[in-house]
Structure 1
């Protein structure tokens, strides 16, 4: 009897910050792709615990836990030849501090919907949903 291959599922949590019709994205050190800031859960962390830790590590700001609002959860195939998928639970939240890339992040950028092709498939689903809900305009300044 042959065992079914296991499918990899990467469980992540992300912070959605939209300002002036653009969404915050980050490029991790050593990578050439931008992502919505956030990361993988460690152990039995909740979404909130994961998000607060990851954003502090990546962008040196503190999210206000009591302001977290679930935007949506998205799942898409892994980019490239890998098999499996990424699940990304997305939240908005207020923050304190100055947005600065940390030692884990090479660059932060503000993307419009027109930059959708520059992010991985799961992030593209978020962009599409935000557009459909009127949270991210098709063109900045509109």
Structure 2
């Protein structure tokens, strides 16, 4: 897998990321909105050099949400590509992990807002393509399949 400083050979403008489908015991999904942006997305971020995707998501959740979790707490949802929500012309190549927790979270670092959503009904919120096209549909299908 490429490090954060590398780009995909298929597309020169690709962010290599790790993200979490963070669920509470009621099945709601926590999404974040970064400062200066409008789209809600999974918490997560770029994978740093020498870091695995799992190590990156553990670090990112601590930095962005003050959430302390162990690598063994996660499940693996998959690897997905989608247009970047806030950077026109860029793509994301993202490994997505799952975590169910009712631990308190707080917006930190570059996060402006955290909000819990029903994955089946996000209302009129602007939801990132990775979430709306891949993560939520796959999660919802797993509930009925």
Q: TM-score, normalised by structure 1?
A: 0.80
Q: Match for residue 37 of structure 1?
A: 43
Over the residues paired in the alignment, what is the CA RMSD in angstroms? Answer: 2.4
SS of structure 1 residue aligned to 2:78: strand
For 1:120, the equivalent position in structure 2 comes to 128
Partner Cα distance (2:58, 2:41) in 1 = 17
Query: 1:34-113, aligned counterparts within 5 Å?
Result: 34-79=40-85, 82-93=88-99, 98-112=104-118, 113=120
Change (3 A) 1:40 1:97: same
Whole-angstrom CA distance in 2 between matches of 1:41 and 1:34: 20
1:75 Cα offset (Å): 0.9
Q: Is the 8 A contact 2:19 2:42 kept in 1?
A: yes
Alignment partners' CA distance in 2, 1:127 and 1:6? 25
Q: How many residues align?
A: 131
TM-score by length of 2: 0.78
1:70 Cα deviation from its structure 2 partner: 0.6
Q: In terms of mean alpha carbon deviation, does 99-108 or 34-43 score higher?
A: 99-108
- 1:128 CA displacement: 0.9
- 1:63 is paired with a residue whose SS is coil
- Structure 1 residues 80, 99: closer, same or farther in 2, change over 3 A? closer
Q: Determine helix, strand or coil for the equivalent of 2:50.
A: coil
Structure 1, unmatched stretches of 5+, are 136-142
